[in-house]
Structure 1
Amino acid sequence: MSPTAFITGASQGIGKATALLFAKNGYDLVITARTKDKLEAVAEEIRSLNRQVLAISTDVGNHSALEALINLGLERFSQIDVLVNNAGICMTAPMAKTTIEDWQTIINVNLWGYIHTINLMLPHFLERKQGSIINVGSFGGKVPLPNMTAYCTSKYAVTGLTETLRLELEPQGIHVSGVHPSVTNSDFLERAVFKDSDPEQMKQMLSSPFVSQPEDVAQAIWDAVKYPQAEVIVGSAKVPTFLNRLFPSITQGMLQLGTKTN
């Protein structure tokens, strides 16, 4: 029986690259995202690799819809070996211009989406006494970023969720890891919300050689499963994460200075 991975946010970017990498390495897939046509296109690519796939468009904030999808996945494949929580959205905005609706949207997708899938998959993993949970975070969950309070709040929460869950579950045979990329050159701009910032600046940033590619993050996720490790910092995110850990006041002072000079 082939191993199976369940990946959220799999219609494009990091999720798509991860699904295809796992398929190339012999995994069958359960994939979900909100965009049905793009999700089905990914499913066709997986089938072309001679792997089985269950692809159903779902909102990760909808617990009952996710429960139905996971039940279908278990009926189809009998077991799920890897959960990759990847669905997420980004927003840049000062706190004063972040509405309650903005907060609810960010938290519902970036945090509750992860909590829902973990809650639903955990009984299966505990029964088998094995499984891997990979939470895709961000260097914004390791380093505070100006004018991204809501986003960083959600990603810091994912970091805390991952680290405490690891302490709880690894003695029971379940591996938990966080993968934290830097800015990634994917379909990021399609879902990002910009308030008081210029999307053109982000486009220029995405052309930088220091930006991660979706395939880089997918490889880090694969490595986190095959060579279990607590945390993987991807690409250029290693530098600010390292500096903030050792010299937080200096690092954060430089970030504040950057906002004043822009």
Structure 2
Amino acid sequence: MSGTDGIRGKTIAITGASSGIGEATALLLAERGARLVLGARRTDRLRDLAARIADLGGEAVWAATDVTRHADLAALVTLARDRFGRLDVLVANAGIGPVSPLDDLRVEDWEAMVDVNFKGVLHGIAAALPVFRAQGGGQFVHVVSTAGLKVVPNQAVYAATKNAVRTVSEGLRLEAGPDVRVTVVSPGFVRTDFIDSVPDDRVRAELASAKDEFAIPPAAVGEAIAFAVAQPAAVDVNDIVVRPTAQR
């Protein structure tokens, strides 16, 4: 089975689809014949992305999606079923990273990361798992981070949310049985707007310097996601790490 054959005709929903990894992944999967269901908060960018996919000859629908709201994830899954008759893959990509030293006590930022990065994934599981069970198959792809593999200063809470997703994903895999696949993708430093939300000037400057020096394009992570999705139904690629060769 070629990569294209394993993707063509699948209905794939992506959260955080309006930019970065989500946007690049949507375009790549559309080129390979997937039907896309795009979710994010920035509806103007979703509308533009859906139009670009249509220009490529693909199919895409979109819905305003705040992953902190379970109802929004449920609506995204319903949109997939109403438009395309099923949902084959849910890519939980939405995430935020207002990282800072713990001494800064930015409690609201901590809570926001828990709500988006961790609870947002749980809301996706709650929305899609019953559908996958009813269909007799489906796949979760959870985008986490190498920050959880190597914890560094200023990123303790961010890394904790990503490792929480890693833990839940393994539990989900163990409970999923033979028909539901679970993939965790851990990107390293990627050329996205991630650092724009970093509140600490010093931390933001350090990250910007690293980004300029060696960050990889979002499409590199999209290729990893596509690889996992394209595998035969009985093959579950559980864990992929994608990082710059220069990243330590």
Do both proteins adopt the same fold according to a TM-score greater than 0.5, normalized to the shorter chain?
A: yes
* Distance in 2 between residues matched to 1:43 and 1:174, nearest whole Å: 28
* Distance in 2 between residues matched to 1:237 and 1:151, nearest whole Å: 22
Pick aligned residue for 2:99 from 79, 92, 96: 92
Give the partner amino acid of 1:195. D
Note if 1:230 corresponds to 2:234.
no
What do residues 147-200 of structure 1 show as CA deviations (whole Å, max 9, x unaligned)? 11110110110111112211111x23111010001011112233x223262423
**Preserved CA contact (<8 Å) 2:154 2:203:** no
Note if 1:131 corresponds to 2:131.
no
Pick aligned residue for 1:216 from 191, 216, 220: 220
Note if 1:167 corresponds to 2:174.
yes
Question: Which stretches in structure 1 are left out of the alignment for 5+ residues?
Answer: 241-262
Give the partner amino acid of 2:229. V
Give the partner amino acid of 2:206. Q
1:207 is matched with which residue?
212
Q: CA deviation at 1:239?
A: 6.9
* Distance in 1 between residues matched to 2:87 and 2:245, nearest whole Å: 30
Question: Which stretches in structure 2 are left out of the alignment for 5+ residues?
Answer: 1-7
Structure with the largest fraction of helix:
1
Assess, with a 3 A threshold, how the Cα gap between structure 1 residues 136 and 238 changes in structure 2: closer, same or farther. Answer: farther
* Distance in 1 between residues matched to 2:243 and 2:31, nearest whole Å: 23
Assess, with a 3 A threshold, how the Cα gap between structure 1 residues 239 and 231 changes in structure 2: closer, same or farther. Answer: farther
2:82 is matched with which residue?
75
Q: Map 1:111-260 onto structure 2 (within 5 A).
A: 111-169=118-176, 171-190=177-196, 192-195=197-200, 197-209=202-214, 211-227=215-231, 228-236=236-244
Bigger relative contact order (CA 8 A; separation at least 6): 2
* Distance in 2 between residues matched to 1:98 and 1:28, nearest whole Å: 43
Identity %: 35
**Length, aligned pairs only:** 237
Could you tell which deviates more after superposition, 222-231 or 171-180? 222-231
**Preserved CA contact (<8 Å) 2:11 2:80:** no
Pick aligned residue for 1:43 from 27, 44, 50: 50
* Distance in 1 between residues matched to 2:104 and 2:66, nearest whole Å: 26
Give the partner amino acid of 2:115. N
Give the partner amino acid of 1:226. A
Give the partner amino acid of 1:121. A
Secondary structure of 1:50's partner?
Answer: coil
Note if 1:25 corresponds to 2:32.
yes
